[in-house]
Structure 1
Amino acid sequence: MPISTNTLFKDYFKDFKGYDEVFSSDLGIDKNWDKLLDNLSNIGAEKLKEKEGEIDWLLAENGVTYNVYNDPKGLNRPWKLNIVPFIIQKKEWETIEKGIQQRSEVLNLLLKDIYGKRELIKKGIIPFEVIFSHRGFLRDCDQIQYKTAKQLLIHSADLARGPDGRMWVVNDRAQAPSGMGYALENRLSINKVIPEVFGDINVEQTSSFFKDFNQLLLKAAPTNKENPTVVILTPGPHNETYFEHSYLSSFLGYPLVKGSDLVVRDGKLWMKSLKGLKQIDVIYRRVDDVFMDPLELREDSYLGVAGLLEVVRLQNIAIVNPVGSGILENPGLIPFLNSVCKYFLNEDLILPQIASWWCGQEKELKYVLNHLASLVVKRIDRTHREHIYFGEFLSKKELQDLKKEILKAPYQFVAQENINFSTAPNFVDGHLEPRKIVCRTFSVAKDDGYSVMPGGLVRVAAEREELLVSNQKGGTSKDFWVVSDKKQHNIQRYSWHKTTGSLSTGINDVSSNTAENLFWSGRYLGRTIVTARYLRMVLNQMANVQFNDRKSESESLRILFQSITNITSTFPGFTGKNEEAALLNPLKEIVSVILDENKVGSFAQTISSFTYSYYSLRNLWSRDMWRVFDSIQKLLKNLKDEEIHTIPVLVKFFDRIITRLIAFMSLTEESILVKQGLLLYFIGLQMEEATMTIAKFRSLVIVQHNQELEYEVLESLLSSHESLNIYRHSYRSYLSLENVISLILLDKEYAKSLAYQIKRLKKDIDQLPNNSNNEFSECQKNIAKAFEKIQSLSVEELIRVNSESNMRLLLDAFLEELSDVLHETSLSISNTYFNHMYQQNQLINKTNEAS
């Protein structure tokens, strides 16, 4: 279809300048894009709009996020994928592939030399200032030897088409390259939502690359184990690419761990599991160099493992990539890289680079200062995200200030030619727009070279005229197609011929951090559900009072209001000196208990704790879990956005969110195996439900009321416990405290009773590994004490009222003691299984040196 008649290209040439991927020099369609544009045109703008919405929905449903630092929209921004892929023909790609393989090898040899013989510095090929003034050079890693055939095991290169029509290398990433998981998710999403766009186009698949990546991790093990233990080390949920860490953990089948999961003992690296220590052979790290070992590098780091570098020196662990490889991300190396290639390989670089001038040389410095207005200037060390200066946008004063800054320390700066890279079509608002693009592809080491991903991740500028391409600046992404003349299968199949021995073979082997997060996620989920049901019950009672003015009901509301504060611990609330003021507008206080994240014990704060704990476990989630989880977040956000919070609005909110919380609870039990730590989740859930049951009883029934008021209170208690119908079916009698206690506290067969919860806790805790020399662990002793207590008292004793205080003192004392025992049980579980305190300190402070 000619461009002139294609509505997709409406306004495409408005302010058009530079090189566009789709068009040849005479503005005809490049033959490589012809078939794709035909497919897009046949689908049509309206259908593409629908598909675009489906992709956004699918990515959101699957929880694909990219964390943007200090983003007012929140931490977990949805990943954006444009529906129009980027295309490179196989013939051109073969040259790019060879260029990437060559570049990976050159960087590998460079890395070996920097931390080894340093011949490049001795022979004047690279100035020593370029290396030693960069924070990426870690003296602690000097002369470390590795057993792997190559030192650089993973390399990613950012590519953009330059003015000569060839793909140029813009950046290299070697520390902990990101993007592989996003590239895979992009392909799977496009395949699922709009398979017709692939019509008659032979797109090469990435399955063989991921097989090579898996083999790399297995072969990296220093002991040549048949089934080495591999873990993926993450900084945690706040990292910008945490989704990818979890995604690759699930995809590859390797445990996701944090630094506090690991410890060094006897020159080896171990994972802290529930049973004890398990030796680790390979770390695929997503933590930056200087944070990897607080004992030798940054002592303020909580992301790495103290003593890890010594384990590396002893060759008892393989780290992918090795600590110290961040030096390769130094733009000051670019002017010298072709000479490095000639030195090692006796050939020129295949892929062109941006023309660069290191200011530490007199001739180059003079050129930069004379042409500053047309260059891009950056520090060679951008480990702290230092500013980039675009000379064309600087005023005369700013240019003068920059000159002064460069002259203070010329060796710290590099200038590069300002290149307008190519654009490619992006589908925006029903038509195509040209946007700047940068392609990232990946290579992984093999015995005989490097395997390159056929395609990768394409990042797209956020706006039409935007020069910078950055996800942190709001950019989007594209699927990256390498198109072949040979027939390809569009369905990707992934299977590993050789797999690792899984650490999580049983409950004993679950990492302490995973176990802790499962335990607390169970507690937070239990607290969230109980709190939601209780608040809904109170709101329904408030609505009923509007149609009934009986004194007993208004008095019962006063008791219920006070119980909200006592059960949630949102003091002062409806208690103490604040009571009368809060009772003047009870709904205002209740809304605060629901929505104020800064109020300790509030529903919103509990949801926030629940969110963080579960998000830390997302590598264990099923996609259904994420969908329900996302709907919970949206419901709470929508409620916060409401201008007026009426009782019906709040009740409707709780009706919806309780249903989703229960669905999430059920999905957790379906999605995580007991041997993966589900047992800890059950213990946390039962622990919290038991604690909240005690809190409700202590708030509502310790004080004796008149018969009518007590009836209202007991009915409210049963209603909040979702037990009113069961009570009526079981007893078929007027509500009595004796029967309520029998059912809710002492019935060993009723799953929501306190006795049942404690019996279940005892059973589950008995299945935890016993690491003590005693017959029973501390937590087993504590829960056994609770189990004995709840069987030792009769209903008659519990309901006895003290005539002087008009209180059921025996019931209160029993519940208080039981609450204390449960608290001690929780503490003993934490101290036994979740203790991460293996802190070691440097003898001298290196933080300043590292910064």
Structure 2
Amino acid sequence: MSAQVSTQPEGSGGAVESYRAALRRVGAAEPHRLPGYDELVGAEGVHPEDEMLADTIDALGPGGMRAKAAEAARYVSSDGITYGATADGAQARNWHIDPLPTIVGSAEWAALERGLEQRARLLDLILRDVYGPRRLLRRGVVPPEIVLGHPGFVRQADGIALPTGQQLILAATDVARSADGGWVVFGDRTQAPSGAGYAMATRRIVARTLPAVHRRTSTARLRGFFHTVRAALLDSAATNAEAPRVVVLSPGAGSETAFDQAFLATLLGFPLVEGDDLAMRDGRVWMRTPGADQPVDVILRRVDADFADPLELRSGSQLGVPGLIDAARRGQVSIVNPMGAGVLENPCLLHFLAPISRDLLGEDLLLPQPDSWWCGDDTDRQHVLANLDRLVIKPLSRDAGTSTRFGWLLSASERDELAARVEATPWAWAAQEPLPESTAPVVTGNGIEPRRLVLRTFGVAHDDRYAFLPGALGRVAGEAEQDVVSNNAGALAKDVWVLAGRDAAPDWSERESAAEPAAPALAAGTLAPRMADDLHWFGRYAERVEATARILSVVDDLTEDYAARPGSLGAIAMESIQHAVTMVTGIAPQQRTGTGLDYTAPDQWATDPEAHLSLLVGEESTPGTLAYAVARLVQCAQRVRDQLSLHTWPVLARLEQTLARAGEPNTSRRDTLEAVLESSLALAGIVQQSMIRDATWAYVDAGVRVERAALTVELVRATLAIERSPVIEGQIVEAVLQVGESVITHRRRTSAGEGPSVPVQSALHLLLVDRANPRSLAFQLDRFSEDLRLVDDPQGVAAGAAIAMDLPELDVETLGATDRSGLDRLLVDLRGRVDALANALASQHFRRKGPQGTQLTEWTFSQSQRQSQSQGVARG
């Protein structure tokens, strides 16, 4: 689809008419590629439900629409919406959203929903049969090899059933338009369906980007669906607990859909956990905590079945829980979707759904599918091989070491290779007619451009029926000529607005959500060790970012004033603070060469302070720099996204954007550091003013207190534990107190004759022993003890209090006297005791599980092998 809307003059209106002209040009130039339906305009003009949207497009014009696309991108960045992951686990890219919604009429959606509901019921019946009597296989309705040979078929899950009527609790169906505009199904997602969280996040962005259109359009709301999912999960509990405990099991922050998992957990109000957070004991699954472990009744599984139980499945997996299948077999935990539900994600099965529907439901499929062929049938295979150049060829499973192939995109040699693979294992391949798919308008740099569109719909089983999200996650091709629409291929997300009829009753999921059973909240001190650890380091890195920005800001000012005046009093103070920066960050200012550090050359503080300051601010790969601390802060936040306020993400986004611009020409380092400090203070305000004083807050605050205590001691030792002349010391004290945000108090007290009159003694009092100063060591220790009371750690409370009790006994006049060796020894001791507090906290609260795995003995292997073979014969 190569046509672009670029003929309309900027700002002159008529963007929709230009879009129609583009569609006509595509039809004339590439009739074989033209879809038969467009989501905005038809043969008679703009679709009635799209008239308001079309008016908005014309009113804004190409420039206005590009501004809306940029606005949506800013919102995405601000909210921290990401997709994909890099090899080191960092988030790869922002979610891409097109600001123009796709609008579906209420009657049309109702018809689609009926077809989706029938399909969900059918898939549920197939799932029950496959892991039960297997009548479909015995009677030849479905060839056994496409079920028993599918990687998603989990033999160990045979006979395991949820206590609910349906076994398929969550269903996602991918649909697109046929040439006549009807909806056609081209795939199902049943293993661990993803995307519902992205659909809600996309709705929030588009509603903010086009607020007037959204308010004036009677659009069905999405929130009720998540109430229904929550109720369905609580009702699926296998145990008789009055308040079942539900967790969302995630592969971790390195997962490409980590945002979707965390946001879904937030919408549902259930904790997001990883395999490290769960343990098996007495046949039950428990959530590990520093105190008493908590029993888990329901697991919403976002880990693929193959990785979910290293005892019975993939032995090397670190993502699951050993013994999970056995716990489900014993009825001690419900797993949603059930282990083995991925067998339904089977393109070979699609070929047989029509006869299966007539067999199990006595009904024809309401939603059509593309014509398909199963290569295990000789006639079908010959047809596929004869038409490889125009069909979509799909392997039995996406896990089969290959991917879907589009015949018209393959070279002759690639088609020959594919034909050979099909001939070698014909039962493992299927083919489909390509779907033309509809087009939808997308905002591009060239104007409004038609792109191919697919939708992912979401359903949930509850009370013997299926409810559906009144909308979908729309995706449009990332490039004009792309035939493949997928997130991995750079697709953009589309919000899907389903119009609510004027007399429509509230969605049943919303009506019944008020009656759902309550889920128990996590009690204080019951966070899993992995969560507590990440929260603690979130606090530590937040403080490290602020402290690093403060000290770099002070040294930047001093360097600007005195770098060109060596030997002056100010230059000596500058050198002292530069030394403190080296001590606090751990980054030696040696000259850098192409192969590393040159330790024989003069350090960069003396030769090129500007270059060294730039490295300390913006070099993300070097531990100790400001950019490094910001990157680690964001990573910690990503791992505990469901525990943090939504207001956290705009602040973190501003931090990342500020550091990303730090190396650009004409960017002031002072402005960069000021912006970082503003964002750091905003983040601190969110933590202090928006977080409930429970275990979550306690671990974050304890991280802040430990980090600030350690950095304060290190700063004082690097600057004030060295004897200097009173004049020089006065300037150094001023600089140190600026870093410690205490200089105003020092000046006020000195002017009023309060406190020590000698500057160094005043600084020692303010930064070490003054309990009223939120920057002092004493204040940090007091708060640390309060934090540990919240997580029921009396030993930690006592350890923090013991150090704090010694501080009032410090004689700042003696310590600030001529001989500073006593001060140096004291500060070394204090730093060691603070580090011991941090180590004890980690040992007591953050203890992770060791690497898990299984080792089969010869006996167990032979027994399991014989059992699998006997089941295959008896049940296949």
Give the TM-score taking structure 2 as reference length: 0.88
CA 1:661–1:271 in 2, change beyond 3 Å: closer, same or farther?
A: same
Deviation at 1:531, TM superposition (A): 1.3
Q: Which amino acid aligns with 2:823?
A: L
Structure 2, unaligned runs of 5 or more: 1-12, 592-596, 869-876
Output the CA distance in 1 between the equivalents of 2:545 and 2:512. 40
Q: Percent identity?
A: 29
- 580, 600, 617: which one aligns with 2:602: 580
Q: Which amino acid aligns with 1:697?
A: V
SS at match of 1:444: strand
Alignment of 1:327-346 (within 5 A): 327-346=343-362
CA 1:198–1:717 in 2, change beyond 3 Å: closer, same or farther?
A: closer
Deviation at 1:460, TM superposition (A): 0.8
Deviation at 1:148, TM superposition (A): 1.9
Deviation at 1:207, TM superposition (A): 4.4
Residue of structure 1 equivalent to 2:764: 741
Output the CA distance in 2 between the equivalents of 1:281 and 1:392. 49
**Contact 1:69 1:472 (C-alpha < 8 Å) held by counterparts:** no
CA 1:481–1:655 in 2, change beyond 3 Å: closer, same or farther?
A: closer
Residue of structure 2 equivalent to 1:108: 124
CA 1:31–1:651 in 2, change beyond 3 Å: closer, same or farther?
A: closer
| Pairwise CA RMSD | 3.1
Deviation at 1:552, TM superposition (A): 3.3
- 701, 717, 726: which one aligns with 1:682: 701
Residue of structure 2 equivalent to 1:615: 638
Residue of structure 1 equivalent to 2:710: 691
1:798 equivalent to 2:849? Answer no
Of 483-492 and 789-798, the range deviating more from structure 2: 483-492
Deviation at 1:398, TM superposition (A): 2.0
- 798, 812, 830: which one aligns with 2:842: 830
**Contact 1:762 1:784 (C-alpha < 8 Å) held by counterparts:** yes
Deviation string, structure 1 residues 336-371 (Cα, Å, up to 9, x no partner): 222222222222222111222222232222222222
Deviation string, structure 1 residues 171-207 (Cα, Å, up to 9, x no partner): 1000111122222233344444434435875443444
Alignment of 1:105-254 (within 5 A): 105-163=121-179, 165-197=181-213, 202-254=218-270
- 613, 624, 630: which one aligns with 1:590: 613
CA 1:67–1:23 in 2, change beyond 3 Å: closer, same or farther?
A: closer
Q: Which amino acid aligns with 2:844?
A: T
**Contact 1:505 1:675 (C-alpha < 8 Å) held by counterparts:** no
Deviation string, structure 1 residues 121-144 (Cα, Å, up to 9, x no partner): 222222222123322122222222
Q: Which amino acid aligns with 2:676?
A: I
Q: Which amino acid aligns with 2:683?
A: F
**Contact 1:49 1:430 (C-alpha < 8 Å) held by counterparts:** no
Output the CA distance in 1 between the equivalents of 2:675 and 2:216. 46
Q: Which amino acid aligns with 1:728?
A: R
Q: Which amino acid aligns with 2:335?
A: I
Output the CA distance in 2 between the equivalents of 1:719 and 1:410. 74
CA 1:375–1:464 in 2, change beyond 3 Å: closer, same or farther?
A: same
**Contact 1:230 1:500 (C-alpha < 8 Å) held by counterparts:** no
CA 1:531–1:344 in 2, change beyond 3 Å: closer, same or farther?
A: same
- 758, 768, 775: which one aligns with 1:752: 775
Q: Which amino acid aligns with 1:340?
A: I
**Contact 1:22 1:33 (C-alpha < 8 Å) held by counterparts:** no
**Contact 1:99 1:351 (C-alpha < 8 Å) held by counterparts:** yes
Residue of structure 2 equivalent to 1:843: 855
Structure 1, unaligned runs of 5 or more: 771-775, 803-807
1:13 equivalent to 2:24? Answer yes
**Contact 1:504 1:676 (C-alpha < 8 Å) held by counterparts:** no
Of 424-433 and 296-305, the range deviating more from structure 2: 424-433
SS at match of 2:342: helix
Deviation at 1:638, TM superposition (A): 0.5
Output the CA distance in 2 between the equivalents of 1:408 and 1:423. 38
Output the CA distance in 2 between the equivalents of 1:383 and 1:548. 67
Deviation at 1:662, TM superposition (A): 1.0
Deviation string, structure 1 residues 256-288 (Cα, Å, up to 9, x no partner): 222222211111111123422111111222222
Q: Which amino acid aligns with 2:602?
A: E
Residue of structure 2 equivalent to 1:773: none
CA 1:261–1:24 in 2, change beyond 3 Å: closer, same or farther?
A: closer
Output the CA distance in 2 between the equivalents of 1:675 and 1:23. 49
**Contact 2:72 2:97 (C-alpha < 8 Å) held by counterparts:** yes
Deviation at 1:644, TM superposition (A): 7.2
Deviation at 1:54, TM superposition (A): 3.7
Give the TM-score taking structure 1 as reference length: 0.91
Alignment of 1:746-825 (within 5 A): 746-770=769-793, 776-777=794-795, 779-799=796-816, 808-825=820-837
- 501, 509, 529: which one aligns with 2:546: 529
Output the CA distance in 1 between the equivalents of 2:832 and 2:74. 47
Q: Which amino acid aligns with 1:216?
A: A
Alignment of 1:262-341 (within 5 A): 262-341=278-357
Residue of structure 1 equivalent to 2:379: 363
Q: Which amino acid aligns with 1:639?
A: A
Aligned residue pairs, count:
831
SS at match of 2:805: helix
**Which consecutive aligned stretches of 4+ in structure 1 deviate over 6 angstroms post-superposition?**
2-5, 23-26, 489-495
Deviation at 1:157, TM superposition (A): 0.4
**Contact 2:86 2:92 (C-alpha < 8 Å) held by counterparts:** no
Output the CA distance in 2 between the equivalents of 1:391 and 1:741. 76
**Contact 2:478 2:491 (C-alpha < 8 Å) held by counterparts:** yes
SS at match of 1:694: helix
SS at match of 1:372: coil
1:58 equivalent to 2:58? Answer no
Deviation at 1:436, TM superposition (A): 0.8
**Contact 1:801 1:809 (C-alpha < 8 Å) held by counterparts:** no
**Contact 1:221 1:318 (C-alpha < 8 Å) held by counterparts:** yes
Output the CA distance in 1 between the equivalents of 2:184 and 2:335. 30
Q: Which amino acid aligns with 2:573?
A: S
**Contact 1:202 1:488 (C-alpha < 8 Å) held by counterparts:** no
Deviation string, structure 1 residues 511-545 (Cα, Å, up to 9, x no partner): 33332222111111111111111111111111111
Output the CA distance in 1 between the equivalents of 2:722 and 2:833. 23
**Contact 2:786 2:797 (C-alpha < 8 Å) held by counterparts:** no
